[in-house]
Amino acid sequence: MRVVTNHRLAKRNRQIAFWLMIGTLGVLVGSFILMMQGPIEDNPQISSLVLLFQVLVLPVAFVLTLVSVRMTNLWARPPRPEDAIEEGLKGLSNKSVLYNYYHFPARHVLICPQGIFAIVTRWHNGRYTVKGDRWQTKQSIFSRLGGFIRADGIGSPSLDAQRAAEKVQKQLSKIAPDADVTPLIVFIDSTAEIEIEDSDIDIVFTDPKAKPSLKSYLRDLNKENVSTDKKQGTMPLTDEQIEAFEEATT
């Protein structure tokens, strides 16, 4: 399998996440020092300025914390999604191509004999129930409150996957108008517990030992292709179409 990753973007965003974390710590330390400052009786102007900083620094620190946590989860939290997906796809046809961070909102796009997949990932490891495109978190009130404060909830993976597939479908419309793009939700952490009551979008894990895994999902698709008399091992796009897709989007 060939892997094409936007390393420049990934490295830049990891650096941003790191410096945001450092900046957040600096603001928090600064806010603590400011809070300890008492009024300066012989200089009311300085006292007013210190009071203004005390009022402003906490909301700034809160916003920086939210952005820092989100950037860290998306770009720096190990294992990184591109590595986990590649590891989970070991043994896939060498005709296949995995694109990372070129086709937002599809963070990952896989073109392989089984089809074209717009992949969204989740690093979360909680317990969830899926009903259609609605995801419900099974957590205590304190865990939910913490997730809300950190702004690192699971969101709506189903809607995100649909939007990702639509974007890739649009990008392919002029190159391969008959190609179908399948949305796919991939969990990086195999300890996540997902109860699926109804879902139009398949949900898998990168870990080959988890059920259902990405590898077993693609293996089952191979069996379906054989049972429907589709030629196994045939790519959904020609080499020329893949080349055109890369030139237009990478």
What is d(CA 81, CA 108) in angstroms, rounded to the nearest whole number?
Answer: 9
Rounded distance, CA 117 to CA 169, Å?
10
3 state SS of 38: coil
pTM: 0.87
pLDDT at 8: 97
Cβ atoms of residues 183 and 165 within 8 Å: yes
Q: What is the pLDDT of residues 127-155, one digit of tens each?
A: 999 999 999 988 766 666 666 655 678 98
Domain residue ranges in the chain = 2-76, 81-249
Which is it for strands 97-103 and 2-5: parallel, antiparallel or unpaired?
Answer: parallel
Q: What residues are paired with 183 via a beta bridge?
A: 118
**pLDDT over 90 (residue 47):** no
- Structure tokens, 241: 């179409």
Instruction: Specify the DSSP element, H or E, that contains 183.
Output: strand 181-187
Question: Distances from the Cα of 76 to the Cαs of 70, 71, 106, 182, in angstroms?
Answer: 10, 7, 18, 27
- Residue 30, pLDDT > 80, answer no
